[in-house]
Amino acid sequence: MTRLLTTTTVLSVLALAGCRSADYDMADTAYWAGGEFDTADEDTTNDDTGTSSDTSVPAVPTFWSVSGSVTLIDGAIAKNGTGLSLSIIGAESEVICSINPGMLGAPPAAVPDPSLDIWGFWTVWLAPISEDDAECTDRLATPLPTNFQLGIGHLHSLLNPAIDAAGVYDYNTASQSIYGLYIQPPIGDAFPDGSPVYVFGLAGTPANLAGAQQTVVGEQLPNGVYQLETLHPLPLP
């Protein structure tokens, strides 16, 4: 396993050990049940008594990720037509549980470093989580962020190893059609100068994902529904 951590002034690219997108499926979510993390049961038989015992070990929350979709209209994220999912991921890259909070709003934000090829950057404010979702997040030592800055821009070449590992796209082809997904988690509730921006996944409309070339005009993303896919989950706060 390798760890790739490349840092510029405000850009950090995460490639966390053992966290290739091919290792877990965001659609295959394991929810907590019975007061414990929901994991696959391992049934073993005691050689002396012939009885069975459950030796499953609760998964340890280690990472989190963002997926779902955002609807862009004239460069702004529309509240209607946008749905985000936050997943908590264990040390072995297993999805422990996911929540689907509503979005209070997503006003535009300034890109922290103009040298970054990010063509849309917003501060996403999440609605309070539901009682059902609290069953997931209440087990965390530190709460998930209630806001973060999300960006869509150039598909950074440092995502190439993760794209190759996923085996779905070729980077040279994808870089002409698919966008990079960026995030700036808050430090406390703020985004101080110099805090890191991570490029951690893919974004694109269905046409982009099918190979249609990007059509950024005046550094504004075209209208449409953009699917968001995590390649590298983020360390929990």
201: CB partners within 8 A, 6+ apart: 65, 66, 67, 159, 180, 181, 228, 229, 230, 231, 232
pLDDT tens for 1-30 read 222 223 322 234 443 222 333 333 322 222
Residue type for 57, please?
V
Mean pLDDT, residues 79-90 taken together? 94
pLDDT tens for 128-143 read 999 989 999 988 988 9
pTM over 0.85? The answer is no
Q: Answer whether residue 164 shows pLDDT above 80.
A: yes
The residues spanned by each domain of the chain are: 4-37+58-235
What six digits make up the tokens of 114? 């103009």
